[in-house]
Amino acid sequence: MNETLCNDLKAAREAVGLTQGGLAEAIGVSRKTINTVENGVFQPSTLLALKLARALGRPVESLFWIAD
């Protein structure tokens, strides 16, 4: 099984006018974590995904989904 986790994090972050550093500071992670999640290099934990969704005011399933 080769499933891919996709995300809309960059667009959602830019929509609320946050930089990667700003979002990182808001949820207490490093900027590289935001960068690697946005680029699909790193798959975040459930906890981090929920924190991101809360910080961006979006439901988690609209930020992350599995590619068909």
Partner 1 sequence: MNLVEKAEQRSRLRAALFYALATILPLMTILALAGPGESTTRLLLWLLIIGLAALNLSSLPFRWSRCGPVSRLMNDETTKDHRRSSFAAGFWAMILSAATTMVVATFQPLGAAALGRITITAGLTAALIAFATLELRASR
The footprint of partner 1 (CB under 8 A) covers 21, 24-25, 28-33, 35-36, 41-42, 44-45, 48
Question: In whole angstroms, how close is the CB of 16 to partner 1 at the nearest point?
Answer: 17
Cα-to-chain-centroid distance, residue 45: 10
Question: In whole angstroms, how close is the CB of 68 to partner 1 at the nearest point?
Answer: 26
Pick the closer one to partner 1 by CB: 47 or 68.
Answer: 47
Question: In whole angstroms, how close is the CB of 65 to partner 1 at the nearest point?
Answer: 20
Kindly state the tokens that stand for 20.
């990667």
What residue type is assigned to position 8 of the chain? Answer: D
* Runs of H (alpha helix) within 9-66: 9-15, 20-27, 31-38, 46-56, 60-63
